[in-house]
């Protein structure tokens, strides 16, 4: 269990923390660069949602295809609604900062939320591999994939936080903290040993809804306001391609 938690911490907090650290080295007044980074991260996360989370949510094993799609749709709406409600609470409680700061807080909350089921997937992968005497091979692969895609997610959290007024050190620490729930998820997943398909599908769908709210309700609108150009759209497309490569390669 100890090895599983350490590997998961490196993938979760380490990945997002590295992304946050890289983002904090950027100039705060570079609105064009911030727009490109936000679009790129939005593209990566859209690809992860479409090619990874939702793909897992509708895999065979949780009923007929109609039931799986319906469960995924309900989970997406629930995740979208919960994240939207969190956004409304933050807007009411803190009106001192601009939209970028709010986008960063919402992004951090959404990533922390969806890191729990991702951690459970890592834990289950290790448990299944050890049961099959594969010495955790599939768990290491899953941790590596999640760690890689956590880097741009960490950048997407830190950039708007720093641009919205938060200190660079605090932003980097806050970004790393969004990866900590991954460890909790890994402990739960490893303890269970195996996860029921319905539970997994619901968790992945809920996380997808949360991420889609952040991408389409916060990141892309803010990026468009920062720089009206075709290049940010290209950055989003490149991000989707990178995200697809992370998932499948």
State the pLDDT at residue 26: 63
Quote the pLDDT of residue 194. 54
Per-residue tokens: 138:
């599939």
For residue 77, what are the CA distances in angstroms to 3, 52, 115, 211? 35, 18, 18, 11
**E strands along 84-142, which residues?**
none
- Counting as low any pLDDT under 70, the low residues of the chain are 26-30, 60-63, 86-87, 89-103, 106-107, 110, 113-114, 117-118, 121, 124-125, 128-139, 141-142, 145, 148-149, 152, 156, 163-164, 192-197, 200
pLDDT of residue 236: 92
SS3 content of the chain, % helix, strand, coil (to 5): 85, 0, 15
DSSP sequence for 24-90: HTS-TT-HHHHHHHHHHHHHHHHHHIIIIIHHHHTSTTSS-HHHHHHHHHHHHHHHHHHHHHHHHHH
Model pLDDT, residue 212: 87
Neighbours of 93 (CB within 10 A): 7
Please tell me whether the overall predicted TM-score, pTM, comes out greater than 0.75 for this model: no
- The two three-digit tokens of residue 122, written as one number: 């890592």
Give first-to-last CA distance, the chain, whole Å. Answer: 27
Distances (CA, A) of 47 to 74, 88, 132, 163, 197: 20, 26, 31, 25, 22
Please write the tens of the pLDDT for every residue from 94-149: 554 455 666 677 667 767 766 776 677 677 667 766 655 545 455 676 677 677 66
- At 76 the pLDDT is 92
Write down the pLDDT at residue 241. 92
Distance of CA 202 to the CA centre of its chain: 16
Distance CA 160, CA 60 (A): 38
Q: How far apart are CA 84 and CA 1, in angstroms?
A: 35
């Amino acid at each position: 269990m100890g090895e599983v938690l350490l590997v998961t911490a490196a993938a979760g907090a380490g990945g997002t923390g590295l992304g946050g650290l890289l983002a904090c080295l950027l100039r705060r007044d570079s609105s064009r660069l911030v727009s490109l980074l936000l679009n790129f991260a939005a593209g990566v996360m859209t690809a992860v949602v479409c090619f990874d989370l939702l793909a897992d949510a509708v895999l065979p094993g949780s009923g007929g295809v109609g039931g799986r799609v319906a469960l995924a749709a309900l989970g997406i709406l629930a995740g979208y609604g919960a994240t939207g409600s969190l956004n409304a609470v933050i807007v009411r409680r803190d009106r001192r900062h601009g939209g970028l700061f709010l986008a960063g807080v919402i992004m951090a909350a959404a990533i922390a939320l969806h890191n729990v089921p991702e951690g459970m997937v890592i834990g289950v992968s290790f448990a299944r591999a050890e049961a099959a005497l594969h010495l955790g091979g599939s768990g290491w692969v899953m941790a590596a994939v999640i760690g890689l895609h956590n880097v741009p997610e960490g950048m997407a959290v830190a950039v708007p936080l720093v641009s919205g007024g938060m200190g660079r050190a605090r932003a980097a620490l806050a970004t790393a903290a969004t990866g900590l729930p991954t460890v909790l998820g890994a402990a739960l997943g490893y303890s269970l040993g195996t996860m029921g398909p319905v539970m997994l599908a619901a968790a992945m769908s809920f996380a997808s809804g949360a991420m889609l709210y952040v991408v389409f309700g916060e990141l892309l609108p803010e990026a468009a306001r920062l720089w009206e150009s075709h290049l940010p759209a290209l950055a989003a497309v490149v991000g989707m391609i990178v995200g697809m490569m992370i998932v499948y390669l």
